[in-house]
Amino acid sequence: MKDKNGKEIKLGFTALVPDPIQGAPYFDPYNHSFVGTISGFHGEYVVVEDGDGNCLCIEPDRIELDFE
């Protein structure tokens, strides 16, 4: 899997998760962007864990690895 810039996603990498899509036809369980750690993969999705230990499954092309 690759991030929005075409970089290969691997376990343990730090990723920027963007703000949720406004008006998306599905529920976004978070309300702001955050930086987390890639903790796994679930089907076509990447699992990103935040600093509180909460996990979010998100499309790989929405996250960004080298964001600094």
**In a domain? residue 39:** yes
15-67 confidence digits (pLDDT tens): 999 988 777 666 666 678 999 999 999 999 999 999 999 999 999 999 999 87
Distance of CA 10 to the CA centre of its chain: 12
Structurally, the chain folds into a number of domains equal to 1
**In a domain? residue 6:** no
**In a domain? residue 35:** yes
pLDDT at position 64: 96
pLDDT at position 20: 83
- Regarding predicted confidence, which is higher, 68 or 39? 39
**In a domain? residue 51:** yes
**In a domain? residue 1:** no
**In a domain? residue 58:** yes
**In a domain? residue 57:** yes
Structural domain span for residue 58: 14-62
**In a domain? residue 9:** no
Query: Per-residue confidence at 9, pLDDT binned at 50, 70, 90?
Result: very high
